[in-house]
């Protein structure tokens, strides 16, 4: 399979529109060796197939599609390589792009204009579906456009497939992280608010464990990570108090569902226990994170640990 990193930043992107932290200001001024990033999303297609699966629909999706022509194979007047969308959570940075897919339609010669709305095939948990029909009623709004053909993701590891992409197999596990701030149950976390998903390519046997929002690595999560050829996980914050020390906000990383990379029990320590051959990648990187500065000491530490920092447009073959 081929994984394309459409966006590698956390909510807000990099630079964030209203932010003048060291990273955002340094990128704008050209004084920092770093790269701009859009909000986190990946696209996976099996070897030999044109169509694939979109993981999360970021507010930057239109720019991401333009930047990655493989998502627009141009086989018909209206076309897309996106066979379906899988949501890892209901956060704004992962679902707002669904509105941008509202024009989906199919040929319908019997109708005036010859086309009819074509509901978007979408997989998410019940907890996320509830948020997307209540606190942030994306599904109800899209009902007035193309509509959503929603499929439930089971939390017990039952594998699922996306029609049109038969070579890929998906298995989800609930994660300790956080529902979106608008969620009616933000402070009463439900299993399924956030997912980790293992994607297996049946032909190559390649396996990816993907978890862009992850607050704690339980034995079950570590087991899933250990069984993958590549892990692409939460790279939001370097330290637990990063928002506070940069003056960006009062929240601690763990309290808003993100395990920091550095320090005791941090993501780098977890990754060091993985098999040496495992490819280790960080995604969903917040604009305050010092690893975005390619000349920083934290970035050097990440590189020494054999861990890669995702960039927009990056491809991974498994
Ligand atoms: C998060 O994952 O915590 C989000 O990126 C926050 C947000 O979307 O503002
Ligand atoms: Mn996010
Ligand atoms: Zn910033």
Q: Please give the pLDDT value at position 303.
A: 98
* Residues in the ligand 1 pocket, defined by CB under 6 Å: 10-11, 91-93, 213, 256-257
Q: Please give the pLDDT value at position 213.
A: 97
**Residues whose CB falls within 8 Å of the CB of residue 81, separated by 6 or more in sequence, listed in order:** 43, 45, 50, 51, 52, 70, 71, 72, 73
Helical segments of the chain, H only: 22-29, 61-67, 92-95, 126-131, 138-142, 219-226, 242-245, 267-272, 297-304
pTM, two decimal places: 0.98
Q: Please give the pLDDT value at position 48.
A: 85
Low-confidence residues of the chain: pLDDT under 50 = none
Contact 98, 57 (CB under 8 A): yes
Closest atom of ligand 1 relative to the 39 alpha carbon:
5
Ligand 1, from 57, 88, 91: best to mutate by most atoms within 8 Å of Cβ?
A: 91
Closest atom of ligand 1 relative to the 92 alpha carbon:
8
Closest atom of ligand 1 relative to the 257 alpha carbon:
3
Q: Please give the pLDDT value at position 177.
A: 85
Q: Please give the pLDDT value at position 164.
A: 96
Q: Please give the pLDDT value at position 311.
A: 98
CATH 3.60.15.10 fits 2-105+117-317, yes or no: yes
Nearest CA to ligand 1 atom 7: 11
Nearest CA to ligand 1 atom 4: 11
Q: Please give the pLDDT value at position 253.
A: 97
Q: Please give the pLDDT value at position 133.
A: 98
Nearest CA to ligand 1 atom 9: 11
Q: Give the length of the chain.
A: 318
Distance of alpha carbon 46 from alpha carbon 283, whole angstroms:
21
**Residues whose CB falls within 8 Å of the CB of residue 267, separated by 6 or more in sequence, listed in order:** 217, 233, 234, 235, 259, 260, 261, 282
- Domain residue limits, the chain: 2-105+117-317
Torsion of CA 76, 119, 13, 90, to 10 degrees: -160
Ligand 1, from 96, 180, 233, 248: best to mutate by most atoms within 8 Å of Cβ?
A: 180
Token pair in block for residue 227: 């069984």
Give the three-state DSSP class for 51: coil
């Amino acid at each position: 399979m081929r994984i394309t990193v459409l966006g590698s930043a956390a909510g807000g992107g990099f630079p964030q529109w209203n932010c003048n932290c060291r990273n955002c200001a340094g990128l704008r001024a050209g004084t920092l060796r770093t790269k701009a990033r859009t909000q986190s999303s990946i696209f996976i297609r099996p070897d030999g197939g044109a169509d694939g699966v979109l993981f999360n629909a970021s507010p930057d999706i239109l720019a991401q599609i333009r930047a990655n022509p493989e998502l627009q194979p141009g086989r018909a007047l209206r076309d897309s390589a996106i066979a379906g969308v899988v949501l890892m959570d209901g956060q704004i940075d992962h679902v707002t792009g669904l509105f941008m897919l509202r024009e989906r339609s199919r040929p319908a010669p019997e109708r005036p204009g010859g086309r009819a709305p074509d509901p978007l095939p979408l997989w998410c948990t019940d907890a996320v579906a509830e948020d997307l029909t209540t606190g942030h009623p994306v599904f109800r709004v899209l009902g007035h456009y193309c509509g959503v053909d929603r499929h439930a993701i089971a939390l017990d590891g039952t594998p699922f497939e996306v029609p049109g992409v038969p070579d890929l197999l998906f298995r989800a596990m609930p994660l300790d992280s956080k529902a979106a701030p608008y969620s009616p149950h933000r402070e009463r976390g439900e299993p399924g608010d956030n997912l980790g998903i293992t994607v297996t390519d049946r032909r190559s046997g390649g396996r990816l464990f993907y978890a862009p929002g992850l607050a704690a690595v339980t034995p079950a999560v570590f087991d899933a990570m250990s069984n993958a050829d590549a892990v692409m996980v939460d790279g939001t914050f370097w330290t637990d108090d990063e928002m506070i020390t940069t003056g960006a906000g009062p929240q601690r990383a763990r309290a808003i569902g993100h395990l920091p990379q550095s320090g005791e029990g941090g993501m780098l320590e977890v990754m060091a226990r993985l098999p040496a051959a495992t490819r280790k990648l960080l995604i969903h990187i917040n604009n305050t994170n010092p690893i975005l500065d390619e000349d920083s000491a934290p970035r050097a530490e990440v590189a020494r640990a054999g861990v890669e920092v995702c960039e927009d447009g990056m491809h991974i073959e498994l």
